[in-house]
Amino acid sequence: MVPGLQVGDFVLVNKYAYGIKFPGTHFLLSGLVQPKRNDVAVFIAPHTLCDYDPLTARPDISTLPVAEGQLFLNKFEDLQNSRCTPLGVKFVKRIIGIPGDKVEIKGYEIWINGEKLKQKLLISDSNENLLEETIDEGVHVIRTLGLSDYEQHSWTVPEGSYLAIGDNRDNSLDSRAWGYFSENYLIGRADYIWMHWESFSELPSFSRNSKIK
């Protein structure tokens, strides 16, 4: 999630943002409060659960060209075999698709329900580009490295599922690789950076104390 989040950031997560769960379970005691586009959500990524069916992560796989569907299955299973744990791993990513949304990605450009997201170049040099991106009313900064690979993706988000992407677009393991994540595995919303610890040789500081955009 660079540049908004940096390695060493300590993040405050609102675990009640999407409803109240019975402690230690994914069972909701209250109704689900649906995440919004642009929320920075914390969730368990599907490929990190050893018993997760890849067809649940991409239930529309039958609508894809055979080669594309098989490529997704192979990639998901490779990730699952190398990264899964019994309880899964928590990810922090930005939600770009909620149930019913049609989302298309062509390189660095994103369309949601036919509307292209606004992007404005802020900084460009030989190492990286920083762009201001707007999703609905939310504005944040993304990072690109200008890699040559031109990926294209298209999704129609099913009920109970969400599409997520990282702000560090060329170095992010997100829905482009593992599909949708389920509402059952939502943990909460990342709201605030409260502390930063650069290295073991330094004391933690509050220099990055700020609301997450």
Tokens of 113: 């329900």
The 10s digit of each residue's pLDDT in 161-172 is 999 999 999 999
Coil, helix or strand for 79?
helix
Using CA of residue 31, residue 24, residue 56, residue 44, what is the dihedral sign? positive
What pLDDT sits at residue 211? 96
C-alpha to C-alpha distance for 185 and 28, rounded to whole angstroms:
11
The 10s digit of each residue's pLDDT in 7-20 is 999 999 999 999 99
Q: Domains in the chain, please, with CATH? A: 9-197 (2.10.109.10)
What pLDDT sits at residue 126? 83
Name residues of the chain where pLDDT drops below 70: 148-149
DSSP state of 185: G
What pLDDT sits at residue 149? 65
Does residue 116 contact residue 109 with C-beta atoms inside 8 Å? yes
Coil, helix or strand for 199?
coil
What pLDDT sits at residue 28? 84
What pLDDT sits at residue 31? 85
